[in-house]
Chains A and B, each alone.
Chain A
Amino acid sequence: MKKILAILLVLCFALSLLSGCGGDTKKPAADSGKKKTFVFGDTTFNAENEEPNIDPHYAYSGWPCIRYGVGETLMKIADDGTLQPWLAKSVVNVNETTWEIVIKDAVRFSNGKKCDAAAVKACFEHLIKVHERAAGNLKIASMKADGQKLTIVTSEPNPILMNYLSEAYGCIIDMEVGIPKNGCVVGTGPFVATEVVTDNHVKLVKNANYWDGKVKVDEVTVRTISNGDTLAMALQSGEINAAYGMAYASYPLFENDKFKFSSIQTSRCFWGMVNFHKENPGYAIMSDPAVRKAIAMGINKKGFVDVLLKGYGYTATGAFPDSFAFGKGVKTVSYDPAQAKKILQDAGWVDTDGDGIREKNGVKLSIRWLTYPSRQELPLLAESAQATLKDIGIDVQINNTKNHNKVRKDPKAWDIWVSANVNAGLGDPQNFFDTYCLDSSVKNSGGHHSDRLEKLAVQLRGTFDPAERARIAVQMQQELLDDNSYIFCSFLRMSMIMQSKVSGLTAHTCDFYEMTKDLDIN
């Protein structure tokens, strides 16, 4: 009797386990009724990426604002990097410091209010007041609004003002509404935010007042799913209709008729920044040019792209893809472990205790590699580099943390910070240097300084001719590459994966635009 009871209990337990594997009956409501709803899973919409909400005037929160169709900018960046009018009808560069922008007459905020030059002016005034990076980029001295015409005067020549205004922080929001406590800013895009919960979700409804046509989907929910496995399973089960940031290892699960991919080569670069702060315990190591060169020669970029990214990328030489004029003609060292060993040997780094790691003057050649997990490729790069650098006698201690943005601000906590950024998302090279490489850069966390680079940056900022700007940008990259103070590994081929019934969700090189009026689900 006891045995029968035991068997019955085991069966009940097994059945209860299996019941958990059953299909979820709560599918997105796209299948039910006439209301069209769309659920999107995103690994990157989170505080870890400085995107805690959709307020474009806060850190990098402009990215979800523009991606999810809440905000729009004056100009749009085309896939070839050129600027195209969006909210702006025309832009005239009157002289080196004056720009006249005419806003399209039809543009309305989602609350129905007309978007005129005064509204845009109020938006930019608030932006440069609260957003340090934007203020530094834009260099706006004064603005004048007259009907639909906005005149911007910059404090110094700013050839890429319109590129900067096409950055995500340039989304135009209604400042009469301001930044509400619930975070639901009012933009001009095809969707209106109704609920924002950091690290969890954003709920959107279609903008009935959309100025540029009819929006096809009624409701959108964007779920923050930072874990790649959860994302894959959510898409498989139909809990979400599309996904951004899927791990490459999961791609085979979706290479069938039920799903489709929208992929494009981007300038999102996986790259490392060296810490040059003298108070850093690793300064003796990282300040040695031989070590930096050996690190650059010890990372197997091709292996990373071909195997770990499964070909969804391409190796990087400089900061920008060579499809741009300013990405052509730069040179750097290639993967050469034997030569890297010789360089270290010649510089006095020798393995004296036989543990496989080199030493010099009692200092072990060990570096702290700071990275973060929400870009699923970064931990792969870290572990790949850890192995190849160990082969040449460099020990790598990986700190893969969501907290990387706090850690990188501590000059003693890391030796190389490896991240993923869209380096030419604005179709111009200046933003990268302005953000990461110069004395004035807000994210020059490694304290890098080069007199020549500073001079070239001044030159770049004052040059309007694109060809000349490209020439200067190449020189600036070469300066970084010659010094091996920045190491560029690869560029990403970005993909969004969606159910086959989804249409109008298209990947773009700048990685800004995702949900548009064309988004549809059948």
Chain B
Amino acid sequence: MTDSPLAELRGAGKSYGTLRALHGVDLAVHAGRVSCVLGDNGAGKSTLIKIISGLHQHTEGEFLVDGAPVRFTTPREALDRGIAAVYQDLATVPLMPVWRNFFLGSELTRGPWPVRRLDIARMKRTADQELRALGIALDDLDQPIGTLSGGQRQCVAIARAVHFGARVLILDEPTAALGVKQSGVVLKYVAAARERGLGVVLITHNPHHAYLVGDHFSVLRLGTLELSAARGEITLEDLTHHMAGGTELAVLEHELARAGGADPAPLPDQRDPRSVSSPREGTT
């Protein structure tokens, strides 16, 4: 990795009062690469993206954008530096029309101040173009976005971030609530965003999805970095093993075997990673 990272965490951490949610985490986001952050519920994934996207501030370590230390106090500041987060639940306002959601917070206007008004025609046209550029065709841009499926909403949010010049795109569990087919659609957009030269941070707890598109993998565990490896340095089996609990799993297996009655054969996780069904997400 010779190019300098767009955004970088160095030994970053975050404490909520006495609770240390994140500690000593290093993460680099490069243009045209997908950095996957994996971890179980409560591992600190959400805290990590909230720091990068400006919702929370780190309490230790450094956060650099283009090599310079920053401390965002609002998501707006992060957006102005080209860092956009797409949240699983936080992306849209359900009762508002699709086009209003697309431009929310960055509305296009026309006319001088006292009568400065929304440029509705241009916003609808642009939203339609951007969505179709990503292969999303909607019946009616005036329908409330809450009537779309989870995958569609996710894609609208991604298209929105790409349109507004995001250089770093943070995706929070984009596939957690989706079916197999819709997950595939979302992962294609992730790949498409990477091809456009964006740095993508993909938060997930599904190692299979991560391995399909990831260039670098970080596994979080109880708020610290358990593993940080480039794609060439790790196999899907290793990744799944780390993700599934690693050494803890071996201990558990041992205990289960000793308890009697349990099958002493290795747990299926280690033998065949593809048989692991990822737990459904509750946001961490």
Are A and B physically bound partners?
A: no
Q: List the interface of chain B (C-beta within 8 A of A).
A: none
* Chain A interface residues (CB < 8 Å from chain B): none
